[in-house]
C-alpha cells in the first residue's frame, strides 16, 4: 500500500465510550446533511475515516453499539423518503488497497463456491443516486435513494437532467438506476447563474446536484447529468422483459439501457469493462485513477461487480450493501479547510494574482497550504471571506483551487477580503478594466522577474545572466527591456562591479548564442499573456515564423490546439503591444523562425499540411520520465518536450491508455510500472535519441 493510500485508509481512533458516542453523533449529523442537501460538516474523506473508526470500536466493544450508529445502514441511517422502492436501493461497501480488493474478491468466490467468471469495472460517480421509473417508455417518476427502503419523490426535476430522456426508444416499463451529478462545466455555470440571482455558490458539484434536484419553484434552472448504472423490472413490466432483466449479465443489461437512449459511462474515457483477473482489475483501477484529473465530471472511486446475474444471486446482499459489488475508493481530492488570508502577487507581465493562504491540509498525498483564487471578480462572485471554511480541490498536478465557501459553517466572525488599491509591487495604479487586474506599468513593474524568466534555461538559456546580474544591469540603467540585452557593449559591461574580462566575454557569447534559439523559445521569453512553454511551442510550429504569427488574426490563432476565442483575442492584443519590442529584437538579429516547421499556405489557416508535420513521432502521445542519459543527459524536461513536438508527437505528463510511447530513464518509477501494465511501448533514452537524431542539433 502506498503512503497516500495508507493514509487514506486510516480510521479515526476512538479512545473510549464518550469518544464513540460523540463520533456517532457527529457522523449521524454529517450524513443527514450530506444526503439531504450535500452540505455536510465533514468532507468525504473525514466522514469515511470517522465511520471506519466507529466500526472498529463496535467490533472491539460489541456490547456498546448504539442504535444510532451509521454502520450497516444505507445513507448512514439518516435519509428519509415516502416512496417505497420495489427492490432495496443499497449502498456499497468500500476497499482502499489492492490487498483489500484481493481479499474481497476471494470472499465473493468463497460465498458462491466457485470462481467468478467475469467482473464488471466502472467509475464510481460522485453524485446523487436516483431511481428513474419509466412507464411504457415515458419517464413517470424520479425517486432518491433515501434510506434504501424508501426515497424522496423528486419528479419535479424531470426535464432538467441531461441523459435521462423523457421518452425511451422503446415503449417499455422498467426502472433505471444511476447517479445525477453536475459536470465541471455545469457546476461553473450553475454557480454563475445562482450568484447572479443572489444565492450563495455551491461548495462542490455534489452539493450543487443535491440542492438543485430537490429545489422547487426557482426562478432559474441549471442543468445536471445522469449516468445509468443499473436497471430492474417494475410490477407492470412485461413477463418476458422482466425475465431478461433478471438473467442478463450486468454488462449486457447496461448495453440495453444505453440502447434505450439513457446516458451511461460507456462513451467516456473511463467506460465500463469486463475483466476476469483481479490483477487486471487493479490495473484498470489505477488507469481510471490516472485519468481522473482529465475527466469532465467527478469520480471518487471505481465500482467492481460480479457481472453474471447468477453470481450476484449466489453472493446475495446484506442489509446495507450487496456482497457481489464493492467500491474501490480513491484518495480524496477535495477537503474542507480554513481560509487564513489572501496574498496579492504581481506576475512578470504585471498581472495581479490573488492567492489563498490556507490552514494546511493533506489532499491526495500532499500538504496543501495555498490555492489559486483566479481574480477579484471570482472572489466577489464566490463571496469568499477571511476565516471561511472552504472546499479545496486538487487533482493530479493541477494547482489546488477553492471551489466555494461552506456557507452553512459560518460563525459570523468571518471578515471581508480587502482588495489592493495600488499595485502591491510598485505602488502604481491598477488597471481594473478586465477580470484579471494588472499594474498599469505592465511588464515594467516586474522587469527583473521578466528578464530573469526570459534568460532562463527553458527560454533563451543565457548562461551567466541570473537574477543578481539582471538586477545589476537594470540598476545601472543598461537594460530597460529584453531587446536591450542584445545591445550591451563590452566596454559598458566592464565598468560594472565584479565584471572582469572573462565574465564579460562569456556573458556576451551567451547572449550572442541566444540569438539562434528557435522561435518557440523566443516567443516564450516574450511572456505573452495566456501562453506558456507548451503553448509557445504549438504556436511556433503552427505558424513557423514570427511574421506569420503577427499577421494572424484571432480566427487564425484559434486553429492552434488549446487556443479558444478569449485567449486568441488576448494573444493578438499582446502581440500588438509587444510590437516595438519584437521589431527591436529582429533588428538585433534574434532568430524568428522555428526549425522544421513550414509556414502556412497563402490564405490558409495554419500549418496543416500533413506532409509538413510528419515526423518520427507523428500522431504519437509521448511521456518522458526518469533521468535522461547519453545524448539526452543535459536536456531539461522542457527541452525533451520540444523534441517530442518537433518530431510530430504530443508531449504529456501522465501515462494513460492514450499514451503511445514512454521514454523511461533511470529511476522511472510508477510511470514505467503503469506503462508496462497498459502494454505501452517503452524506449530507453538512447533508443529515443536514435528516433529523433535529426532533430537533436536543433534543440538550441
| Cell numbers at 243, concatenated | 425475465
| Cell numbers at 303, concatenated | 465500482
Q: Quick check: 561 and 624 in contact, CB under 8 A?
A: no
CA distance 187 to 676: 36
| Cell numbers at 186, concatenated | 455545469
DSSP conformation letters of 321-344 = SBTTEEEEEPPPSEEEEEEEEEEE
Total residue length of the chain: 700
What are the beta bridge partners of residue 392?
A: 335, 402
DSSP conformation letters of 248-298 = S-HHHHHHHHHHTT--BGGGSTT--EEES-HHHHHHHHHHHHHHGGG-SS-
Q: State the pairing for strand pair 621-625/650-652.
A: parallel
Q: Please state the φ and ψ torsions of residue 223, each to the nearest 5 degrees.
A: -90, 145
Q: Please state the φ and ψ torsions of residue 191, each to the nearest 5 degrees.
A: -70, -35
Active site residue 124: yes
Nearest to 574 by CA among 670, 195, 466, 566: 566
Q: What is the dihedral of CA 43, 46, 49, 53, to 10 degrees?
A: -120
Residue in this structure with the C-alpha cell 518520427, named with its chain if needed: 616
Q: Which of 73, 124, 329, 394 is catalytic?
A: 124
CA distance 244 to 231: 11
List CB contacts of 186: < 8 A, sequence separation 6 or more: 205, 208, 222, 223, 224, 225
Residue in this structure with the C-alpha cell 456482497, named with its chain if needed: 323
CA distance 306 to 117: 8
CA distance 480 to 520: 23
Work out the end-to-end distance of the chain between its first and last CA atoms, rounded to an integer number of angstroms.
Answer: 43
Angle between helices 17-36 and 44-60 (to 10 degrees): 140
CA distance 488 to 515: 13
Q: Quick check: 680 and 661 in contact, CB under 8 A?
A: yes
Nearest to 34 by CA among 150, 128, 152: 128
Residues noted as catalytic: 124
Amino acid at each position: 500500500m502506498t503512503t497516500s493510500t495508507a493514509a487514506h485508509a486510516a480510521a479515526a481512533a476512538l479512545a473510549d465510550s464518550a469518544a464513540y458516542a460523540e463520533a456517532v453523533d457527529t457522523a449521524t449529523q454529517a450524513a443527514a446533511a450530506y444526503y439531504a442537501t450535500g452540505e455536510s460538516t465533514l468532507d468525504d474523506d473525514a466522514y469515511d475515516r470517522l465511520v471506519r473508526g466507529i466500526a472498529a470500536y463496535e467490533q472491539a466493544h460489541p456490547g456498546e453499539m448504539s442504535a444510532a450508529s451509521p454502520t450497516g445502514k444505507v445513507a448512514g441511517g439518516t435519509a428519509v423518503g415516502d416512496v417505497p422502492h420495489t427492490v432495496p436501493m443499497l449502498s456499497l461497501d468500500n476497499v482502499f488497497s489492492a490487498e483489500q480488493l484481493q481479499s474481497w474478491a476471494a470472499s465473493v468466490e468463497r460465498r458462491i463456491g466457485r470462481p467468478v467468471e467475469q467482473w464488471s469495472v466502472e467509475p464510481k460517480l460522485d453524485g446523487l443516486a436516483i431511481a428513474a421509473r419509466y412507464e411504457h417508455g415515458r419517464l413517470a417518476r424520479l425517486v432518491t435513494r433515501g434510506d434504501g427502503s424508501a426515497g424522496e419523490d423528486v419528479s419535479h426535476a424531470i426535464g432538467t437532467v441531461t441523459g435521462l430522456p423523457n421518452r425511451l426508444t422503446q415503449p417499455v416499463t422498467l426502472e433505471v438506476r444511476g447517479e445525477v451529478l453536475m459536470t465541471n462545466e455545469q457546476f461553473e455555470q450553475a454557480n454563475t447563474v445562482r450568484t447572479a440571482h443572489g444565492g450563495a455558490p455551491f461548495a462542490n458539484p455534489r452539493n450543487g446536484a443535491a440542492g438543485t434536484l430537490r429545489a422547487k419553484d426557482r426562478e432559474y434552472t441549471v442543468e445536471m447529468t445522469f449516468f445509468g448504472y443499473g436497471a430492474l423490472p417494475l410490477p407492470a413490466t412485461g413477463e418476458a422483459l422482466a425475465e431478461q432483466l433478471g438473467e442478463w449479465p450486468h454488462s449486457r443489461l447496461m448495453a440495453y439501457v444505453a440502447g434505450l437512449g439513457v446516458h451511461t459511462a460507456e462513451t467516456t474515457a473511463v467506460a465500463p469493462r469486463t475483466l476476469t483477473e483481479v490483477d487486471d482489475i487493479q490495473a484498470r483501477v489505477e488507469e481510471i485513477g490516472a485519468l481522473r484529473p482529465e475527466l469532465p465530471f467527478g469520480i471518487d472511486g471505481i465500482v467492481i461487480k460480479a457481472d453474471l446475474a447468477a453470481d450476484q444471486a449466489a453472493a446475495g446482499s446484506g442489509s446495507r450493501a450487496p456482497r457481489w459489488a464493492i467500491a474501490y475508493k480513491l484518495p480524496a481530492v477535495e477537503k474542507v479547510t480554513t481560509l487564513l488570508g489572501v496574498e496579492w502577487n504581481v506576475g512578470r507581465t504585471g498581472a495581479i494574482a490573488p492567492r489563498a493562504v490556507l490552514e494546511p491540509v493533506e489532499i491526495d498525498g500532499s500538504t496543501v497550504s495555498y490555492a489559486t483564487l483566479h481574480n477579484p471578480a471570482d472572489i466577489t462572485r464566490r463571496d469568499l471571506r477571511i476565516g471561511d471554511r472552504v472546499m479545496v480541490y486538487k487533482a493530479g498536478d493541477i494547482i489546488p483551487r477553492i471551489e466555494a465557501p461552506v456557507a452553512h459553517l459560518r460563525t459570523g466572525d468571518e471578515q471581508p477580503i480587502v482588495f489592493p488599491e495600488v499595485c502591491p509591487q510598485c505602488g502604481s495604479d491598477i488597471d481594473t478594466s478586465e477580470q484579471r487586474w494588472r499594474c498599469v506599468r505592465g511588464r515594467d513593474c516586474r522587469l527583473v522577474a521578466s528578464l530573469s524568466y526570459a534568460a532562463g534555461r527553458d527560454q533563451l538559456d543565457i548562461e551567466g545572466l541570473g537574477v543578481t546580474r539582471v538586477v545589476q544591469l537594470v540598476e545601472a540603467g543598461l537594460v530597460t527591456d529584453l531587446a536591450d540585452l542584445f545591445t550591451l557593449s563590452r566596454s559598458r559591461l566592464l565598468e560594472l562591479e565584479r565584471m572582469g574580462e572573462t565574465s564579460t566575454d562569456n556573458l556576451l557569447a551567451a547572449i550572442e548564442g541566444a540569438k539562434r534559439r528557435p522561435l518557440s523559445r523566443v516567443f516564450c521569453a516574450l511572456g505573452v499573456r495566456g501562453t506558456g512553454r507548451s503553448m509557445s511551442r504549438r504556436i511556433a510550429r503552427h505558424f513557423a515564423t514570427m511574421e506569420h504569427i503577427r499577421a494572424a488574426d484571432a480566427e487564425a490563432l484559434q486553429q492552434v490546439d488549446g487556443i479558444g476565442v478569449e485567449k486568441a483575442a488576448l494573444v493578438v492584443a499582446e502581440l500588438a503591444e509587444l510590437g516595438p519590442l519584437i521589431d527591436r529584437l529582429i533588428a538585433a538579429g534574434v532568430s524568428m523562425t522555428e526549425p522544421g516547421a513550414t509556414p502556412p499556405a497563402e490564405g490558409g489557416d495554419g500549418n496543416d499540411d500533413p506532409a509538413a508535420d510528419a515526423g518520427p513521432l507523428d500522431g504519437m502521445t509521448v511521456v518522458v520520465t526518469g533521468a535522461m542519459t547519453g545524448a539526452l543527459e543535459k536536456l531539461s524536461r522542457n527541452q525533451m518536450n520540444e523534441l517530442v513536438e518537433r518530431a510530430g508527437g504530443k508531449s504529456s505528463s501522465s501515462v494513460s491508455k492514450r499514451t503511445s510511447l514512454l521514454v523511461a530513464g533511470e529511476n522511472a518509477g510508477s510511470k514505467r510500472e503503469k506503462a508496462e501494465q497498459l502494454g505501452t511501448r517503452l524506449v530507453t533514452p538512447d533508443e529515443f535519441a536514435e528516433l529523433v537524431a535529426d532533430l537533436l542539433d536543433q534543440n538550441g
